[in-house]
Amino acid sequence: MHKDANYYIQHLHLEPHPEGGYFKSTHASEETIDAFDTTRKQYTSIYFLLGEGDVSHFHRLKSDELWYFHGGNSLVVHVIDEAGNYMEHKLGLNIENGESPQVLVPRNSIFGSSVVDNGTFSLVGCMVSPGFDFEDFELFTQSELLEKYPEHEQIIRKMAYEKL
């Protein structure tokens, strides 16, 4: 049986995510730590699915986020680091083609993701440590990013919302 994006959305009970795509929270540690002048779970984890033509729009977290490839097509994780450098990480299983089954996005990086060209969907897992809280989530517009990173105009226009 061929499994498409709708199969995973339905069977994993995924819901629309504000940055794009679909998600479901799967795990959160029982233990907490003090972080960002408050208390956070040590880690949280989600399933995340992007469909054909979808993007996870540029956003930033205060925590590290570790991505794991689960299935479908490879995913490109687009990152602008704290120094303003742009890089692409390919999340997938074609290691000879530069893909990796895990990708780390360092805290305070601006990042988003897209399914590889001609791909239909990508199912991944994301673990955030210290644990994710929407209070630590920052979504960007094209104009905000273009003001700070004009040298990355092409990818910003693809990966950032025009307006929020």
Domain locations in the chain?
A: 5-136
* Across 80-88, average pLDDT: 97
* Across 50-54, average pLDDT: 91
- What's domain 5-136's superfamily in CATH? Jelly Rolls (2.60.120.10)
**Is the pTM of the predicted complex or chain greater than 0.85?**
yes
Please give the full DSSP string across 109-146, using - where no structure is assigned: -EEEEEEPTT--EEEEEEEEESPP-GGGEEE-BHHHHH
pLDDT band at 101, cuts 50/70/90? very high
**pLDDT at position 108:** 97
* 94 touches 69 (CB < 8 A): no
pLDDT band at 2, cuts 50/70/90? low
ω into 130 cis (within 30 of 0): yes
pLDDT value at 1 more than 60: no
Which tens digits make up the pLDDT trace of 103-138?
999 999 999 999 998 889 999 999 999 999 988 999
Which tens digits make up the pLDDT trace of 31-40?
999 999 999 9
